[in-house]
Amino acid sequence: MIEVALFGAGRIGKIHAGNLTKQAGVRLKYVVDVHAESAQALAQLHGAAAGSVEAALADPAIKAVVIASSTDTHSDLILRAAAAGKAIFCEKPVDLTIERARACAAAVEEAGVLCMIGFQRRFDPTFSALKERILAGEIGSPEMLVVTSRDPSPPPVSYIKVSGGVFKDMLIHDFDVFRWILDDEAVSVYATGSCLVDPAIGAAGDLDSTVVTIRTRLGRLCQINTTRRAAYGYDQRFEVLGSAGMLQAGNHKPTEVVSHTAANVSEDKPENFFLERYRVAYANEIAHFFDALANGTALRTTVQDGLKALELAEAAMLSWRENRIVMLEGSRS
């Protein structure tokens, strides 16, 4: 039996708790949250106990921790869990600073523990089917990737202020998709952006609309466009152009019903937001983590992937601030 401690009983913590308690051979033992009532309620729902970080990490029965607490707690909890020899699943981002994220990667390596970062898009059935078809050679060699990533509406400005900015909070997923789909590393990043949705986001020093252009070591190209507001809902699409064709991955809809009337032809809007759109992906990533832990299979996303995505976010932020192309390590010039 793999006994687990969950840190964070908020939106995503509840999803992970529900998924991990469905895994055979896995038991949720502790739920830890600084908001005691949240920890208590979630623990009770799953037959676990509300506990503390100290108690969970000191308990030799705990083999793994799931870190789903606020972003500013991730690196501290990774360092402590690695030192205690626990396997780690941590939500994105690893940290808001490259230095702390590097320290986490080093600590994980030194401790020799598993550390998976929650880039759930790699586990989405549509996106992963597309990736499988690239690997099978259906479109030849991938050359260009276009990613559209649009939230339905912006979070409160109080969230924006502590989020680390749109590149680290939102595009971190798109940077991971870029690396995963093109299977290559960036040599240059150019990012531009605007505040078109809410001036309060601009006043907080952040952007709500961005476009990023990336060139890879192999000369492959990627364009990412994001916004914090799409009037028609959560829009998550990408297309990959290869030497022998193109693959597109689109949105999911709650139902496939199409209505034809005298007025129009209509269908459902995309699924509402990430909790719905990536419901299956969240379940798949947790299943993958515990499978890796139980059977020794290789993790499909690691702390190194978390670090690489953060480096791209940092480069994009610098590019936008200084209005210039940023060259990355390994580039030719």
Ligand X SMILES: NC(=O)c1ccc[n+]([C@@H]2O[C@H](COP(=O)([O-])OP(=O)(O)OC[C@H]3O[C@@H](n4cnc5c(N)ncnc54)[C@H](O)[C@@H]3O)[C@@H](O)[C@H]2O)c1
Interface ranges with ligand X (CB under 6 A) = 7-13, 32-35, 38, 68-71, 73, 91-92, 118, 120, 274
Directed axis angle between helix 11-20 and helix 279-295, to 10°? 50
Between 2 and 56, whose beta carbon lies closer to ligand X?
Answer: 56
CA dihedral (260, 264, 265, 267) in degrees, to 10, reads: -110
Burial (Cβ within 10 Å: 0-12, 13-18, ≥19) of residue 40? middle
Q: Which is nearer to ligand X, 13 or 154 (CB)?
A: 13
- Amino acid sitting at position 197: V
Point out which residues pair with 158 in neighbouring strands: none
CA distance readout (Å), 67 to 59, 165, 263: 16, 21, 50
Residue by residue, DSSP assigns 234-267 as -EEEEEEEETTEEEEE----S---EEE-SS-EEE
Containing 98, the helix (H) or strand (E) segment is helix 98-111
Which one, 94 or 139, has the nearer CB to ligand X? Answer: 94
C-beta closer to ligand X: residue 73 or 227: 73
Q: Least Å distance between CB 322 and ligand X?
A: 26
Contacts of 296 by beta carbon, 8 Å cutoff, 6+ apart: none
CB half-sphere exposure, 25, CA atoms < 13 A: 12
Q: 171: alpha, beta or left, given left = phi > 0 and alpha = psi -120 to 50? A: alpha
Four-CA torsion 3, 285, 282, 108, nearest 10 degrees: 70
Tell me the closest approach of the beta carbon of residue 293 to ligand X, in angstroms: 19
Q: Which is nearer to ligand X, 137 or 159 (CB)?
A: 159
Instruction: Output the smallest distance, CB 32 to ligand X, in A.
Output: 5
When the beta carbons of 34 and 98 are compared against ligand X, the nearer one is: 34
Contacts of 276 (CB under 8 A, 6+ apart): 234, 254
Q: How far is the CB of 134 from ligand X (least distance, A)?
A: 23
Smallest separation, CB 274 to ligand X (Å): 5
Residue 178 or 274: the one with the smaller Cβ distance to ligand X is: 274
